A and B are shown apart, each in its own frame.
Chain A
Amino acid sequence: MIRLAALACGLLCGGGLILSGLADPARVQAFLRPGPDWDPSFGLALLAAIAVAFIGVRLHRRLGQPLLPGPSVPAEAEGLDARLVAGSLIFGLGWGLSGFSPGTALVAGGQFLGDGALFATAALVGMLVHDLATARGRASMKNLRSRG
């Protein structure tokens, strides 16, 4: 049941991205690039999305638990740290370079646009690189400590 609900929400989200034009990387880049040709559409769509999501957040808090039974979900991270800042800057760099984020890339991939599929695949590889690098970092720290 949860999977079915998630599938339906994914369809809705994909449809919204197509309708708003945000699945088009050129629109996203036109928002990020200041100048006479600045296109505020991304900001408008984002504000609309935040407003509707805000109602959902309130409702979720009032209900106290999800409507569908299922495995419990870990709580959202709170507080600030350097990883959040560095990760967001690096993510933003890739977002601006291409106009894609993982979500819009999947919708573009679903339209058989090669760029979208390429971006999503590259993002998976980037995540894997991060995981391997941190695993390695942790292992070498351990080595240092055991030697010291």
Chain B
Amino acid sequence: MILDWLLTAPGATVIGGGLVGLSAALLLVLTGRAMNLSDMLGSLLGGNEGLAAASIAFLAGMVLAPTIWQIWVPLPDAGGATNVPLVLVAGLLAGFGARLGSTGISGQAILGLARLSKRALVAVVCLLLGGLVGVMASGWVRSGTVAP
């Protein structure tokens, strides 16, 4: 019964979010690194080698997580209709923006706000504004108002 509550919203949402925060806290306390996933992904392109190794290990953990998860519990359904051009454009924009502003959801909205940083607050407002426009645009594309 507890497992049922744990695995359904909103219990799952809050506990899952807490685990993401715990991961950020542990990474910081143990290694001194900020959990900034966009930045970690960018380290695949090169840069400081000593720092990149740990980032790549973290990313590997994220990719492996679903495989280990489903040893015990079936994975929740995910993934709606696929729209390849839309996802492609979205990825390009996110990658470009991440590099331009040294920004990202995890780095700014989780760790940045936890550090009570003003810079992170401005970044989060901009991320949300961009996200609002983006989600509206995806609605127009999917409803056929605009060709993808």
Contact = CB atoms under 8 A, between A and B. Distances in A.
B104 A15 contact: no
Contacts of B124: 88
Contacts of A3: 53-54, 57
A8 interface: yes
Contact of B17 (A34, A44, A122): A44
B111 to A, nearest CB: 6
Contacts of B9: 21, 41
B18 A78 contact: no
Contact of A6 (B33, B69, B97): B33
A9 B100 CA distance: 26
A interface majority secondary structure: helix
B40 to A, nearest CB: 8
A91 B89 CA distance: 11
Contacts of B93: 90-91, 93-94, 97, 126
Contacts of B13: 20-22, 41, 44-45, 48
Interface in B84-119: 84, 86-106, 108-115, 117-119
B91 A88 contact: no
Contacts of A17: 16, 20, 62, 65
Interface in A47-66: 47-57, 59-60, 63, 65-66
Contacts of A138: none
A118 B115 contact: no
A111 interface: yes
| Interface footprint category on A | 35 or more
Contacts of A95: 90, 94, 105, 127, 130-131, 134
A14 B65 contact: yes
Contacts of A9: 23-24, 26-27, 30, 35, 58, 61
A85 B101 contact: yes
Contacts of A70: 31-32, 50, 54
Interface of A: 2-26, 29, 32-34, 41, 44-57, 59-60, 63, 65-68, 70-73, 76-80, 83-103, 105-111, 113-115, 118-131
Closest 5 CB pairs of A and B: A87-B101, A92-B130, A10-B61, A56-B25, A96-B134
Given A15-B19, A110-B67, 9 more contacts: A2-B53, A10-B23, A11-B64, A18-B76, A26-B80, A52-B25, A89-B130, A91-B104, A125-B95
26 contacts: A5-B54, A7-B57, A7-B58, A9-B27, A14-B69, A17-B62, A18-B16, A21-B13, A23-B78, A26-B78, A53-B25, A57-B28, A63-B29, A76-B112, A79-B119, A85-B123, A90-B130, A94-B91, A94-B94, A96-B131, A96-B132, A97-B137, A102-B104, A123-B91, A123-B92, A126-B96
